[in-house]
Amino acid sequence: STPAAVASALAGGARRGLLIKGGAALETLGRVRTVAFDKTGTLTEGRPRVVDVVALDGTVDETLSKAAAVERGSSHPLGLAILEEAQSRALTVPNAFGGTAVPGKGVTARLKSGFVTVGSPRQAVEKGLLSPEVASRVSELEVTGNTVVIVSEGARLLGFVALRDTLRPDAAVGLERLRELGLRTVMLTGDNARAAAAVAAELGVEHSAELLPAAKLEAISGYRKDGPIAMVGDGVNDAPALAAASVGVAMSSGTDVALETADAALLRDRVGGVAELVVLSRATLSNIW
């Protein structure tokens, strides 16, 4: 390949907010067959807002303030949203100690009153915390695209919090553009199956939900059998998948880990930038060969 063609493509990309870390990444982008996207923070803004807090035992304020206490040390977008909501309601957030996060599942910390967990409904079901009645209330919220997290203290089910994220304005168009280029698009998410299906339907994209980090990796290796795959993500939990893909693309607002692991980054977080990367790469390859 001619170094001049590659250098000029890298510079041209940079002018349009497409940062590519070198010629190898540039060339791989043009050969990609599948593009996999993380959902939260990649196809959505990644700034969920609390839309409802429901108490099942105790008060709404207790559910929210204890959830906020556990999330204080968390950098997860759901945690930040819960903390913000507690602050905007001027609640006193108790102290929490020894917080631990389990990627894809939730967080636990010790409060004066006991161990409090904020996590996925799936995890709560596994622990036998959700009655069929509560599980169906949770499902109803999820069907319309909400993410619900369960707040529990030991074996006591305090309540749940429903949150909602916004799609990035160019997500649907950005995915469509990739399909016009002949690529398969897929959304991979750790979020619940119902919320994921609602978002996927709005975007017209195939998807896999409730994936733990290891399952995201398996999905990537599966698609890789059909040819090179690009993975687009933003979070710490996306880093292994970005590394496992033939080429990793990070949202520039993403975490440092994602940006360091990725081979390319999209300034201004435009989903449409992925298709532009492919076009740029194909143009360079055709000049080279």
List residues binding ligand ADP (CB under 6 A): 38-40, 71, 74, 76, 78-79, 101, 104-107, 118-120, 147, 149, 189-191, 235, 237
The alpha-helical segments, DSSP class H, found in the chain are: 3-15, 23-31, 60-71, 77-88, 121-126, 132-143, 171-180, 193-203, 213-224, 239-244, 256-261, 273-288
Nearest residue (CB) to ligand ADP, 23 versus 79: 79
> Positive or negative, the Cα torsion across 45, 200, 232, 188?
positive
User: Taking the complex as a whole, how short is the minimal distance between the CB of residue 40 and ligand ADP, in angstroms?
Assistant: 3
Residue 106 interacts with, from ligand ADP, Mg ion, none (CB under 5-8 Å by kind): ligand ADP
Residue nearest to ligand ADP (CB): 190
Q: Which is nearer to ligand ADP, 111 or 279 (CB)?
A: 111
Helix (H) or strand (E) holding 91, with range, is none
Shortest CB 74 distance to ligand ADP, Å: 4
Task: Provide, rounded to whole angstroms, the least separation between the CB of residue 256 and Mg ion.
Answer: 14
Q: Among all residues, which ones are annotated catalytic? A: 38
| Nearest residue (CB) to Mg ion, 30 versus 41 | 41
Residue 264 region by backbone torsions, left for phi larger than 0, else alpha for psi between -120 and 50, else beta: beta
Using DSSP bridges, classify how beta strands 156-164 and 49-55 pair: parallel, antiparallel or unpaired: antiparallel
Which residues in this chain contact Mg ion in the complex, by CB under 5 A? 38, 40-41, 234-235
Enter the tokens of residue 164: 């909602």
CB of 143 to ligand ADP, least distance (A): 15
State which H helix or E strand residue 17 sits in. none
Beta-bridge mates of residue 188? 38, 208
* Of residues 61 and 210, the one with the C-beta less far from ligand ADP: 210
